[in-house]
Amino acid sequence: MDEVFARRDLIDPQQLKLLCLPSDAKGAVQVLSHLGALGLSGAGLWLLWGTPWAIPVFMVHGALLNFLYAGQHELSHWTVFRTRGLNEAFGRLFGFVLFYPRTFDQVQHVAHHRFTQDWARDGELARERYTLGSYLLWMSGVSYWYTRWRRIGRFACGIVTEPYLPAQRKIEFVREARWHVAGYLALIVVSLELHSWAAVQLWLAPMLLMKVTHQLQNTIEHLGMPHEPNVLTNTRSTRTNALMRWMGWQMQYHTAHHAFPGVPFHRLRELDARIFAERGAAPPSMTYLGFQRAVLRAFAAGRGEADYPDDRVWISAATHD
Using alpha carbons, select from 191, 216, 217 the residue that is nearest to residue 202: 191
pLDDT at 158 over 90: yes
Quote the pLDDT of residue 318. Answer: 74
What lies within 8 Å, CB to CB, of 222 at 6+ separation is 116, 117, 124, 234, 235, 236
Number of domain units in the chain? 1
Residue 2 lies in a domain: no
Q: How confident is the model at residue 319 (pLDDT cuts 50, 70, 90)?
A: low
Q: What CA–CA distance (Å, rounded) separates 307 from 315?
A: 13
| Residue 74: domain span | 13-320
Using alpha carbons, select from 168, 215, 208, 163 the residue that is nearest to residue 62: 208
Phi then psi dihedrals of residue 47, to 5 deg? -75, -30
Q: What CA–CA distance (Å, rounded) separates 128 from 175?
A: 28
Q: How confident is the model at residue 1 (pLDDT cuts 50, 70, 90)?
A: very low
Q: What CA–CA distance (Å, rounded) separates 275 from 279?
A: 6
How much of the chain is helix, strand and coil, in % rounded to 5?
65, 0, 35
Q: Could you report the per-residue pLDDT of 277-296, keeping only the tens digit for each?
A: 988 999 999 999 999 999 99
What lies within 8 Å, CB to CB, of 3 at 6+ separation is 110, 113, 114, 261
Q: Give start and end residues of each alpha helix (H) in 131-230.
A: 132-140, 142-156, 170-194, 198-199, 205-209, 211-220
Quote the pLDDT of residue 7. Answer: 61
Quote the pLDDT of residue 117. Answer: 97
Q: What CA–CA distance (Å, rounded) separates 101 from 98?
A: 8
Average pLDDT on 255-279 reads: 95
Residue 4 lies in a domain: no
Residue 207 lies in a domain: yes
| pTM, rounded to two decimals | 0.94
Residue 225 lies in a domain: yes
Quote the pLDDT of residue 10. Answer: 87
Amino acid identity at 15: Q
pLDDT at 207 over 90: yes
Quote the pLDDT of residue 4. Answer: 46
Average pLDDT on 78-87 reads: 98
Average pLDDT on 140-162 reads: 97
pLDDT at 2 over 60: no
Q: Could you report the per-residue pLDDT of 7-25, keeping only the tens digit for each?
A: 667 899 999 999 999 999 9
Quote the pLDDT of residue 317. Answer: 79
pLDDT at 70 over 80: yes
Quote the pLDDT of residue 301. Answer: 82
Residue 1 lies in a domain: no
Interhelix angle 170-194/142-156, nearest 10 degrees: 110
Quote the pLDDT of residue 287. Answer: 97
Q: Could you report the per-residue pLDDT of 101-125, keeping only the tens digit for each?
A: 999 999 999 999 999 999 999 999 9
Half-sphere exposure at residue 122, Cβ-oriented, CA atoms within 13 angstroms: 17
Lowest-confidence region among 42-46, 201-205, 255-259, 276-280: 276-280
Alpha-carbon 127 to chain mean position: 16
pLDDT at 97 over 70: yes
